[in-house]
């Protein structure tokens, strides 16, 4: 018996995306973000999350969407990527979605980003499509390397 895939559903623009529930630590409101000089355009900056410095990526910018004015529905998905904790700004985060394996299709090769596929599948759920994402390919390690010095404990810096 195949178990349903559990993903955290969220919106970027008009699309619904999903990340494996195991990758998402928590969902928080967007606090004040401190800008990081010379960071890539989609890196918004860093936040202090209970004493830990976490840098924040705006998925709207990462996916090439026009910048959207902040609103109270915006959320930060706090995710684990290897030994790093990263925040992802999204338009809104919904609920945990349970998608049966029979309702997931492989991507067709239409979702390309610099030659790397970041959509791992398309789930069909209650008449809507959910694009399932590979966190490692969205956040390429080369893009994160310059920001490594900002990771860690805020207490260690004081």
Band (pLDDT 50/70/90 cuts) for residue 49 is very high
Model pLDDT for residues 25-48, shown as the tens digit of each residue = 999 999 999 999 988 888 899 999
Which has more confidence, 139 or 3?
Answer: 3
Gyration radius of the chain's alpha carbons: 16
Closest CA to 57 of 98, 19, 1: 19
Number of domains within the chain: 1
For residue 157, what are the CA distances in angstroms to 122, 126, 141, 146? 43, 48, 24, 18
Alpha-carbon span 91 to 12, nearest angstrom: 5
Give the domain extent around 78.
Answer: 5-157
The residue with greater pLDDT, 94 or 151, is 94
Element (H, E) at 107: none
pLDDT of residue 154: 41
pTM (two decimals): 0.83
pLDDT at 115: 43
Q: What CATH number did the domain enclosing 72 receive? A: 2.40.50.180
Q: Which is more confidently placed, 158 or 128?
A: 128
């Amino acid at each position: 018996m195949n178990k349903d895939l559990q993903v955290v559903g969220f919106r970027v623009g008009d699309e619904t995306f999903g990340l494996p529930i195991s990758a998402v630590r928590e969902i928080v409101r967007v606090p004040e973000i401190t800008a990081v000089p010379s960071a890539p355009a989609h890196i918004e900056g860093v936040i202090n999350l209970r004493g830990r410095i976490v840098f924040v990526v705006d998925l709207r910018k990462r996916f090439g969407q026009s910048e959207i004015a902040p609103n109270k529905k915006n959320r930060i998905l706090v995710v684990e990527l290897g030994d790093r904790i990263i925040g992802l700004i999204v338009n809104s985060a919904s609920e945990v979605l349970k998608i049966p394996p029979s309702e997931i299709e492989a991507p067709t090769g239409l979702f390309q980003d610099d030659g790397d596929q970041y959509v791992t599948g398309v789930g069909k759920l209650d008449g809507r499509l959910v694009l399932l994402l590979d966190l490692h390919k969205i956040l390429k390690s080369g893009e994160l390397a310059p920001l490594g010095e900002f990771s860690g404990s805020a207490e260690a810096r004081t």
